[in-house]
Structures are given as structure tokens and as C-alpha cells.
Structure 1
Amino acid sequence: MSVKNWLWSTHVQDETRARGESIFVRFGVQYLTDAVAWALAIVAAVVFRYDFVVSRVHWVPVLFLCLVVIVLQLLLGWTFGVYRGRFTYGSFEEARAVAYTVVTIALFSSVPVVIFSAQIGVPRSLMLISGFIAYGLMGAVRYLKRMYVTQRMRPDNAQPVLLLGAGFMGSLMVRRMLTDRESEYIPVGFLDDDRSKRNLHLMGVPVLGRFKDIVKVANSTRATALVVCVARADSNLLQRVTTMADSVGLKVKVLPELDDLNDGRTTLKDVRDLSIEDLIGRHPVDTDVASIADYLSNKRILVTGAGGSIGSELCRQIAKFGPAELMMLDRDETGLQQTQLQISGHGLLDSTDVILADIRDADALERIFVARRPEVVFHAAALKHLPMLEQYPDEAWKTNVLGTLNVLRAAMTIGVETFVNISTDKAANPTSILGHSKRAAERLTAWAGKETGHSYLSVRFGNVLGSRGSLLPTFQALIAADKPLTVTHPDATRYFMTIPEACQLVMQAGAIGSPGEVLILDMGKPVRILDIARRMIAQSGKSLEIIYTGLRDGEKLHEELTGVGEAGAHRTHALISHARVLPIDPSRLDRSEWQRRWDDDQAETAIVGIERGSLGGVNR
């Protein structure tokens, strides 16, 4: 059954239950209607055949034939699913099933009629003519019934909306809106730039113009909102739509993910207001599912930092590919519980899929890896707050540098085939403790890839929207508290990406990366933090002040994705670039030299993992 008919069927069944009808009663009435259609068709056909001279009709064989056909209609209608609730009123699927039933009956009953026509006094063409008439009557009844049900389902007191896009998603949404009495929206027209759709009507809703006609169409229809029904709407399109919609006072609303719509997991209540995440971080991702499945399906997979924002989303997406075992490791038991809730539907924390451990504990990690023997590792555990690590650089060293080394060594001990280290854009030309520590982690991962020859690689990207403690939740909390928003510098820019998009590309990178590489995700254009603050204040409807605090120690005005001197930068995927950093042997790491160099010149983009006795950085 198609998505459209599934949705329609759901509405029809709800309507049936609301009227207190049983499925048996409903389809019993439908069968009786079809039986009457056959009787009328046969009588009409024989009357037409004898030019309305009723006295020439042999009524006994005709009535007997009616009885036989009515019985066959029940048997074959059940066989073809007409009376088993498989199809919806007036759908193409139902029309096809009814056609199969009528044609089979007509052919089956025509054989004795043709052979014994002279003896029983029935015209040989009777069943051919009556078959066409019966099918027409059945179709007409179903069409009228569908029109009646559709009219009953139309929402009352709903706000008029325009739909941008008259394609698959547009047709899906207009059908939902018109067949849900609880819908908050009633569609009054479409906007679509496809010229071939300019005269199109979907369920009676017309295409009223192109997107550039939004002002004229909004004024003529008195619509209050614009629903974006474009499957792959990126941030650039949504920004343009918002600008145009704001000029005519239309609220912009967006749909859930296309996969959720196709699977029927959403309702009209999931149509939501445009968020800041949509405007700055919505990047369509073409995921090569086959290549991802090759290295994830039926494999034992371990994710460190599984209780965090990135780690938990990675676990959720990895679970879709059917791993043999998904091991979620973190030192935060509450975070693990939340992740388990998303994956397993419970947070009992009593199963082996959750592992409570700290990546700083090398011995514990080795025991876990030897006992559980993962084949693929995603290393997302890290400390990430720049100002905090500026105050406590030792913590960055212990977790981001030595913790990563502990995970790498445990993985190398048991021969892990694929190791993906989650890095950050702050590792490119680092100027902060966070950036230097993550740069060191990249170089250690490159060393492991060189030593093992396996796919040990790093993936680097910028800020993720919605992660704990990130920019947007901070701004939202300040707005909720009616406090001023703090921005470091009016010209400061950052790269942004949503968590699901970043995780999709991380998994893709794991499939295409080579040993020792750093894969850099395309984050689009950097966004001014000031613009985000202003837009969020505007969306809140409040009048709040913006305070400039100045750049903090180690903080850049503009982030970078590629470091100076990174060799071999090239692209094999539309949104992923490849580069290389120099590997560093763990035996040459020296914590005191690393700190001394940082203290001497923290503004200079130099080194990530100071080698004993030399600077050894790739940027020197």
C-alpha cells in the first residue's frame, strides 16, 4: 500500500470507529451495494439488448444469472481483497482490485452463456455489456462515498496556510490537512517554481503561482502561514523563504524528516515553527548507505562518550544498520541512561550494552576491549568547553590527549579494524588548550593508523547545534530568564551543523577514510554569532540587550577547518575533504614541554603534541 493510501486508510478507519461501525458491517454494506450494481447492470444490459422491449426478455435465466454473479462477487471480492479492508475508497488500488473481480466474473460467467445462449434465451453479449455497466456503477458509488468521507473529515476553524512545493511532500501534506478534523491548518494554495505545475490542483487545492508571487498570493488568500514542503530544504532556501514570508506577515513552518513522513511516524502536530537550527545548520546529506552498512552491519561496535550529544546520536544512527553488538561507554551514568532510553526504549542500565568506564583508566579500558572485542570504535569522549580548559589545562591533557591514547592502545591491542576519532575545527591552527589537545589526539590517531595499517582516522567539524552547553541552549536559557545575551565580538563567526547531520557524515567518513587521515566535514558558510543572537531575540518577541564581552583567552575571531601545512587536502565526497597531519609517537609526548610552550606563546598557532626535546608541530 502506498504512503498516501495508508494515511487515507488510517483516517477512514478512525472515521468508521467514530461512527461505531464494525469493519464487518462496513464491508457488508459495500458488498450489498456491489451486488445491487451487478443486478442492475445485468437487467439494464438485457433490456438494452432487446431495445427496451421487456416482453422479449426471458426473466428466469436472467434472474438465475444475477444470483450466480452475486455469489461470485462475494467469493472473488474476498479473494482479491475488496472486502477485507486492504484498500481505501476510490483509490487506484481498490479500482484495480474491483476491475480484477469484475473481469474474472464476466469471463467466467460468459462461457456457459455463450455455449447455451440459444437454449436459455440469453444474449451472448450480456456479460460483456453488464460487466462494463457494473464496474461503472461500483466505481461511481465508491467515488461518491469518498467525496462524502472527505467532506466529513475536513477540519473546522483551521487557519489558512500556503504550501511551498507541490511535489510529493506537498501532496502528502495537503491530503493530511484535508482529512484530519483536528488539523490546525487548511490549505488554500500552493507555490511552486515548476512551470509544468502552474495549472495543477491537488485534492482541489490549486497552484496559485511561483515563489516570487508570494506577496500577491498571500494577500489574495489571507493565509497566515507558509508550510515549506520541500524534501531537501537547506538553510539558504529557508533563509530566503523567511525573508520573503516576513515581508507579508506569514509565519514559516517546516515538516519533520522525510523518512519519518514516509514511515507514517508523524502527525500534523509535528509541523513546527522554523527554528534557528533550520536557518543555520540544515544541510542535506547524501548518505551512501551501502558503504556505511558494509563496515557497520553485523559488526561489534563501541562508542566512547555515548552519553554525550554526539555519542548518543551516533549510537542512535548506528543502531539502524544492524550491528552485531552496540557497546555504549561513558563515565556519566545519567547520560548512558538517556542514550539507552533512545536506543532500547528503557533506561534500566542492567544490560551489557552500557559500559561505565573512564577513558583515563587505561587498565580498565584494556580489560573491556579484550573481553568485548569491538571491531569498530567511534571515539567521541572528550572535554570540549574552551574557557574551562583554559583554566584547567591538566584536565585537557588527561582526557583529550592521554584518554585518546588509552583508547587507541586498547583498540590496537585487539586489532580493531576501524577507529574514528571525533575532532574539532579548533584543532586547525590551534590557539587554545582545547585546540592543542584535540590536535594531539589527531596526531596520535594518525600514528596508530601508520602503525596498524588499519583505518584509524579523525573527523573534524565545527560547532554542533543543540549539544549540551553549546551556543543555542545557552542563548535560549538567557532569553527564558529575560537576561541580556552575551556575545564575545560583533564580528565573531563560527561554523555550525546539526547533530544528526554531523553524525551521518562521521559514519560516512569512517567508510571512505584511509589510515592516518583527517577528514574535514563541509560546514557551509560561517555564521556571525551576533546574527544568531538577533534572530533568536526576534523569534522570542522580547526586547533584550546584547552585551559584548570580548574574545576570551585562546578564542579565535573566525574558526578554521583546515590547518596551515596540512598535506594532501582533497575531496572524494561532496561534503567531506581529506587531509593529513604528521603522526606523533606517544613515547615522544611530554606534558611539561606542552604546557611550557603554551605558557610562552599561547597566541601562536604552533604545536599540538610537543615532542620531547623539540617543538615537532606540523605548523612550524
Structure 2
Amino acid sequence: MAQITTGVGGLPREEKPALWFWIQFALDAGAWLVAIVLALVLRYELTVDAISVPDLVIFAALAIAGQAVVGYIFALYRGRYVFGSFNEARLLVVVTVIVSALLLAATLLFYRSLHVPRSTALIAFPFACLFMAASRYVKRMYVESRAKPGSGAQRTLIYGAGFLGGSLARRMNNDPQSPYRPVGLIDDDPGKKHLRIDSVPVLGRTEDIADAVRRTRAGVLVVAVADLEAKKLREISDHVAGQQVRVLVLPPLRDMLAGGPGIGDFRDVAVEDLIGRHPVDTNVDEIAGYLTGRRVLVTGAGGSIGSELCRQISAFAPAELIMVDRDESALQATQISLTGRGLLDGRDTVLADIRDEEAIGKIFSRRRPEVVFHAAALKHVSLLEQYPGEAWKTNVLGSLNVLRAALEAEVQTFVNISTDKAANPASVLGHSKRMAERMTAWAAHVSGRRFVSVRFGNVIGSRGSMLPLFTEQIRAGGPVTVTDPEVSRFFMTIPEACQLLVQAGAIGVPGDVLILDMGEPVKILDVAQRMIAMSGREVDIVYTGLRHGEKLHEELIGSDEVDEKLHPKISRTAIAELDPERLDYGEWKRRAGMDGNGPETGFISIVPTQQRDARPYEPGYPPAAGQ
């Protein structure tokens, strides 16, 4: 991560501020002396013989003493204000006005003994201000000339001529250790066409980036717009493609405001930025109302979603956070991220498998959680197509174990984490998660409590997801495998998904399926091409064809579902309940497009995905055994 360092008050770090202030006072004293002489010469209409030298010396001494006393009182020479700033200039005028007023009072009080015209102070005032400001300007030019980045600094364009971009340009220009030297600004505001910030010119708009790179020979482009939309970032990246320009981005504004990385810290643009999303504006009061001081349990706490959920929930000060997972190493990693220790000897970590009905029941009866986030699940489409029995055991029966335990423990809020593949399901994963949604709706009906499901798409950076796979394939030299050139998916960042999950728990109505706004779907081929371009390597792309259970385009809303908005980024829909007494594994396998073998075989029937029976679930499905 790049860093830019600057000295205090705009001065180089090696300078001694106290020495500068003494030098400045000496220059200000000289400014008063010259200003008074000019005032007397003008007052006497260039008749120098009329000037009384002794009285001039006394008058100048009074001005210098006044400047010292008033300047000290107002901290002009004590470093209170940033060197060369408008605040310092305003203070300089105030001090000079007061000193001029004191000099005028002296000529009025001692006019018999001090033979200096009363108008001298008024005439000297603008000259004194001008000369003191000039000395500061010369000093600023000297300091800035010494503070310029060295010859080895990379020529840098800055996208954004607003506050962040201007601050960044000034910091780069005034830090001799800066690895970047600003040579131009890019901004889409037509009002900034001829603007210069710290001598750095605005060279054009977004469409002019490629030309600006050629004219300035820039090797770096810093995007100085916090939380810039991914679409705009993709446009910027496209304009510098093939020009060997390194694109850097600032940290998110929320991180800078929270005391994290600052304006001088930036990193290379990542593919997550190009398909990523904005932070969610969550209602903190609603969330705190049902999490603060409550016992909260998270299943699958070692997974990508579960661990981030735990981190976000802990910020709301729950009475107890109970993290459940069957993977001891994953549990330890989550505990370390929360507490900085991974001894696994506390009550916060629980090693258990949701398939174990007895163990889950004991955990709930002993710990009595009030809020549950059910994130434990098997999620890989292709693997579950081969082993459907495992999906049944974990995603269906395991979820049922958690639901029953939550009902027995009188859990008040239960959030079942689902997937977009449950909408018009065409895979084992989709069918299993659909059943978990329907059983959650059943639990809401029988309890009257807030039991809801939350449905969303692919999560950027989660374990086993597409981006880490592409990264490894590119590192190995390829090829990068894409199922189909037209295939698209919804994407969401892990923090955003978890923020919305927590928010959903606050606003959901019992039995609802809440649907997170995933924005526009992204073509997988575009992602692969961008990642290859960013790597700078020549890597082939190979199309493997859609696998069993995969759709060309995912959906968030089923064909028989109607959604309505609850939140700017959360919608709701209703779903038919499923009484667990009516579970039938054989019928479930038939509906999921599998053969009739038992759960231990895992074989699938060779039926193209598009030919499978993807009819939405209706009330009463699946039928009980024997029906």
C-alpha cells in the first residue's frame, strides 16, 4: 500500500519550525520599516528632508514592538495556523490592522513629542500587509521547491479534481519522499476545465484519459473519488487498457472516516472494485434494537458469510455471540479475527454439525439463543449434483434440525441464509435451499415469530468462488475456464451481503423470503477478460459448457413469486410453507432431476439441465410417503 508523508504545517520534516518563525518575524519587522519609510515619503510628497529620522526610528520601533506583541497574542508566530494558508493570511490582516490602530493612537496621544504625521499609520498599513504577504509567498515558493518529489517519482494522473483529488495533488507535490509526482488531473465537471490545483492542470474529462496519458507520459492513474461506482471504474480502466498504466484507488470513505487508511494510502484496483458495490446505508437503530444485549447464535460461523456476520454482529454488543461450525480450523480463524486470540477455550466457539440433531438440540436448550443466523450449508452446484444425498442431509435435514431446536428454545428472530438458485430451482442445491426456505416459512407459521429467509447471489471473494479460481488459473498460466460466453451472475461483496442480512433480521415479516438487491448481472466472460488484462499476461480462455444444474442466467424471483420493496436494497416475497412431516427424499430426488437411487450413491441421471422439471413448488409439495 502506497503512502505519502508530509511535514507539519507544510514545512519539510527536517526543518526547525521555531527558526522559521524567528526568520518570519524579522521579515515582518523589515516590512514595517520599509512601509513606514514609504508612507512618510509619500506623505511629504517625496520631500525626504522633511522626515525626522529619530522620530521615524521611534515610530518604526513602536510598530515592530506592536507586531511582536499582537502577533504573539494571536499566535501568528507560534504555529497555530498552517503555513501559507488562507487562515494565516486572514490572521495577518487582523494583526496588521490592530498594529496600525495602535500606531494611529500613538500619533494622536504623543503628537507634541512624536513628530510623525497622523496619516502615516493609515498609509503604511497596505504596504506592510503587501510586504509581509510577499515574504510569505517567496518563502512558500522556496519550501515547495525543496519539497517536490524526487526525479525517481512516477508521473501520475489523478482522476477527480474535488477535495480528495486536490488534497492528494498537494500532498504529492509537497513531499520529497513521495513516489508519485502529479502531472495532471481528470474531472468530468466542465467548470473545472481550466482549473489548476497546486500548479497541476486539469487535462480533460474521462474520455480524454488516454490522450492525457500519452501527453504526460504518466505511468500511474490514481482514482481520487471515494466509493466510485463500479461502472465508472470499469470505464476508466477501459480507457487506459493496453497503455501500461497502473490504476490505483483510494480506500472506501467509511474506512477513512473510521480512522483506518487515510487519503495517502491507496492500492491497485482489483477486479472486486470493477464488479463491486457501494456500502449499504443500514438503519443502526433498528439493528441495535434486536441484537444489542441479546444472545446471538451463528451456524456456519467459520465460512465466508458466517465469519463476516460474526464480525458485524459483535459491533452491536450482543450479550453473547455463539459461533457454531463443524470445522475447527475455520472456527479458530473467526475467533482470531474477532478477539485476536485463537485458543478455542471459551464459550463463544462451539464445535458441532447441524446434521447431528441431538447435539444441536442440546446447544440450543443450554445456551438459549434469542437471535439465530443460519449460514451453515453445502453450496457447490457441481459437487452436490454428484452427491445429492449430502445436500439432503445438510441443507434440508440439517436446516430442519436447527429450525426445530430454535422453536424449542423459543428463538425470537431466525434468519435462514438462502441463495438465488432457490428461485425456479434447476439444481440439487437450488431444490435443497428452496425446501429450507419453505420449512422456515412453516416454522414462522407455527410459532408466530420472526423466522425469515434471505436470498442473494454470488458473493465476491468467498471460499471456492469464481474469482479465486480465475486468479489461480491466471497465475498458473491458464487456461481460464468459462462455462459459456453468455453466462452471467449476480455479485455482491461479503460485507454488503452481511450488512443486508443483519438489516433483514430487523425488518422481516414472519415467513417472508427477503431478496437482496444484487444490481445488474455481470457476464462471467467480461470478468475473466478483465482479470487477464490486469495481470498483464497472455492467457487463453476455454469454454467448458454449462454443467448439470447450472443456468445460463440466474434469477432472484421465481416465476410464481411477486416481490415488493421493504428497504432500498431489500424486497420481500411470500413462499408456500412445507410441514417437515411431509418430507419425502425419493420424491425430492425425482423433482431435482435425479434417479431413484438411495442417498448413499450420489449418481445423477443424464438429463440436460433445461429439460429438468423446474416447476415451482406449490402448497402440499412434496407429498408424504405413500401419496
TM-score, scaled to structure 2: 0.81
List gaps (5 residues or longer) in structure 2. 596-604
Alpha-carbon distance in 1 for matches of 2:451, 2:177: 52
Aligned to 2:292: 298
Cα deviation 1:114-148 (Å, max 9, x = unaligned)? 88445774877787777776666655555444443
* 2:306 aligned with 1:311: yes
Aligned to 2:32: 41
Alpha-carbon distance in 1 for matches of 2:61, 2:325: 78
Aligned to 1:3: none
Q: CA deviation at 1:324?
A: 5.5
Q: CA deviation at 1:12?
A: 0.8
Contact 2:10/2:83 (8 A) holds in 1: no
Q: CA deviation at 1:293?
A: 4.7
Alignment counterpart, residue 434 of structure 2, candidates 421, 435, 439: 439
* 2:82 aligned with 1:88: yes
Aligned to 1:604: 613
Computing the radius of gyration from Cα coordinates, the structure with the larger value is 2
Alignment counterpart, residue 388 of structure 1, candidates 352, 366, 383: 383
Q: CA deviation at 1:580?
A: 1.6
Contact 2:452/2:511 (8 A) holds in 1: yes
Equivalence map 1:433-582=2 (5 Å) = 433-566=428-561, 568-582=562-576
Alpha-carbon distance in 2 for matches of 1:197, 1:59: 50
Alpha-carbon distance change, 93 to 436 in structure 1, aligned in 2, over 3 angstroms: farther
Alpha-carbon distance in 2 for matches of 1:290, 1:129: 61
Equivalence map 1:226-245=2 (5 Å) = 226-245=221-240
SS in 2 for 1:176: helix
Cα deviation 1:61-112 (Å, max 9, x = unaligned)? 864674465245435429xxx63x65432234445566676677777x6898
Alpha-carbon distance in 2 for matches of 1:207, 1:309: 43
Aligned to 1:423: 418
List gaps (5 residues or longer) in structure 1. 1-6
Q: CA deviation at 1:166?
A: 1.8
Alpha-carbon distance change, 39 to 298 in structure 1, aligned in 2, over 3 angstroms: farther
TM-score, scaled to structure 1: 0.82
* Matched positions, count: 598
Aligned to 1:284: 278
Q: CA deviation at 1:393?
A: 2.6
Q: Which moved further from structure 2: 440-449 or 38-47?
A: 38-47
* 2:291 aligned with 1:266: no
Contact 1:590/1:610 (8 A) holds in 2: no
SS in 1 for 2:426: coil
Aligned to 1:54: 52
SS in 2 for 1:554: coil
Q: Which moved further from structure 2: 91-100 or 524-533?
A: 91-100
Alignment counterpart, residue 149 of structure 2, candidates 147, 155, 159: 155
SS in 1 for 2:462: coil
Alpha-carbon distance change, 438 to 123 in structure 1, aligned in 2, over 3 angstroms: farther
Equivalence map 1:319-338=2 (5 Å) = 319-321=314-316, 326-338=321-333
Structure whose residues are more often helix by fraction: 1
Contact 1:319/1:326 (8 A) holds in 2: yes
Equivalence map 1:42-121=2 (5 Å) = 44-45=35-36, 48=39, 51=44, 53-55=51-53, 57=55, 63=61, 66-67=64-65, 70-77=68-75, 83=78, 87-95=81-89, 113=106, 116-118=109-111, 121=114
Aligned to 2:187: 192
Cα deviation 1:319-344 (Å, max 9, x = unaligned)? 45555554443333322333334334
Alpha-carbon distance in 2 for matches of 1:334, 1:474: 22
Letter in 2 for 1:478: Q
Letter in 2 for 1:530: L
Q: Which moved further from structure 2: 399-408 or 379-388?
A: 399-408
Alpha-carbon distance change, 169 to 293 in structure 1, aligned in 2, over 3 angstroms: farther
Alpha-carbon distance in 1 for matches of 2:373, 2:256: 30
Alpha-carbon distance in 2 for matches of 1:367, 1:197: 66
Q: Which moved further from structure 2: 90-99 or 437-446?
A: 90-99
Cα deviation 1:200-224 (Å, max 9, x = unaligned)? 1111111122223334333322333
* 2:209 aligned with 1:214: yes
Alpha-carbon distance in 2 for matches of 1:110, 1:233: 56
SS in 2 for 1:563: coil
Alpha-carbon distance in 1 for matches of 2:73, 2:401: 70
- Name the % identity: 48
Letter in 2 for 1:527: V
Alpha-carbon distance in 1 for matches of 2:98, 2:349: 59
Contact 1:42/1:126 (8 A) holds in 2: no
Aligned to 1:583: 577
Letter in 2 for 1:74: Y
Letter in 2 for 1:533: A
Contact 2:32/2:60 (8 A) holds in 1: no
Q: Which moved further from structure 2: 553-562 or 595-604?
A: 595-604
Q: CA deviation at 1:607?
A: 6.5
Alignment counterpart, residue 30 of structure 1, candidates 15, 21, 25: 21
Cα deviation 1:163-198 (Å, max 9, x = unaligned)? 332223322332333234343332222222211111
Q: Which moved further from structure 2: 314-323 or 237-246?
A: 314-323
Q: Which moved further from structure 2: 130-139 or 483-492?
A: 130-139
Alpha-carbon distance change, 185 to 593 in structure 1, aligned in 2, over 3 angstroms: same
Contact 2:251/2:262 (8 A) holds in 1: no
Aligned to 2:601: none
Alpha-carbon distance change, 358 to 101 in structure 1, aligned in 2, over 3 angstroms: farther
Alpha-carbon distance in 1 for matches of 2:216, 2:357: 66
SS in 1 for 2:385: helix
